Amino acid sequence: MPRYALKVEYQGEPFAGWQRQKDQPSVQGAIERALSCIQTGEHTIAAAGRTDAGVHALGQVAHCDLVKDWDPFRLNEALNYHLKPQPVAIVGAARVADDWHARFSALERQYLFRILMRRAPATHDRGQVWQINHELDVTAMQAGADMLLGRHDFTTFRSSICQAASPVKTLDELRVEQLQGFSGPEIHFHVRARSFLHNQVRSFVGTLERVGAGAWSPQDVRDALEAKTRTACGPVCPPQGLYLARVGYPEPVFD
């Protein structure tokens, strides 16, 4: 059966997360239903990573197996037709090798987190950013972020329900920048690693927000990391500012 890679963009707000759930809407379930419209029967797709409820994606990647040898462009168009009006879009499709896997073939994942700094309620960006009403010190946050780079035991920044076999991960990038968005000043966190623990990025951002607000020092981040206990973590930030931005593979998958 031909195997196809799908590059997926979605808004997380209406969904209970990526993973198919029995009684709640999910992104995986929406795509599998669309696949059933073009090929009768049940479908199970695999993704590069599972996103939680409210988390968005700019470049999630999944794969599916189909009986028909589809032209990737026509497959892309057919799935988008059947996904309407849900906020999910297939923005790329490609034929891949039979042993290619969206999750296990991936070399890295990149996440983006957006904070909007303004007092007036967000309108166009509602549900797409974490909104706060105070300014943040970007330099201090980057100093705290630098404490987390490299290979560490990230137990402090790991959800208590995380199912990963080990809390040891290598963080390749955690870059903090401020820019002027259309709705107001924003802080963007760019986070990159081969793999992540459950709630790791949101734990990072929530902790670094405390540094930017002056409640923590950059050294406090190092102390929290070395404590290796969940109780040392700062507040876990809400999901709506988080985006799975890109998944990297040994060879480019989509043109």
Given a contact cutoff of 8 angstroms between Cβ atoms, the answer to whether 31 and 45 are in contact is yes
Give the pLDDT confidence score for residue 144 in this predicted structure: 98
Express each pLDDT in 98-151 by its tens digit: 999 999 999 999 999 999 999 999 999 999 999 999 999 999 999 999 999 999
User: DSSP letter at 24?
Assistant: S
Given a contact cutoff of 8 angstroms between Cβ atoms, the answer to whether 235 and 210 are in contact is yes
Domains with residue ranges and CATH for the chain: 3-105 (3.30.70.580), 108-246 (3.30.70.660)
Residues 6+ away with beta carbon under 8 Å from 59: 7, 8, 9, 110, 244, 245, 246, 247
Instruction: Give me the catalytic one of 52, 65, 172, 220.
Output: 52
In the predicted model, is pLDDT for residue 255 greater than 80?
no
Q: Give pTM, 2 decimals.
A: 0.95
Q: CA dihedral defined by 34, 112, 94, 31, rounded to 10 degrees?
A: -10
**What count of other Cβ atoms lies within 10 Å of the Cβ of residue 215?**
11
Report phi then psi at 196, rounded to 5.
Answer: -130, 155
Please provide the DSSP assignment of 219-250 as one string: HHHHHHHHHTSGGGS-PPPPGGGEEEEEEE-S
Given a contact cutoff of 8 angstroms between Cβ atoms, the answer to whether 213 and 207 are in contact is no
Q: How confident is the model at residue 213 (pLDDT cuts 50, 70, 90)?
A: very high
Residues 6+ away with beta carbon under 8 Å from 100: 3, 5, 63
Q: Answer yes or no: 255 catalytic.
A: no
Give the pLDDT confidence score for residue 72 in this predicted structure: 96
Express each pLDDT in 142-166 by its tens digit: 999 999 999 999 999 999 888 899 9
Amino acid at the residue 148: L
Express each pLDDT in 31-46 by its tens digit: 999 999 999 999 999 9
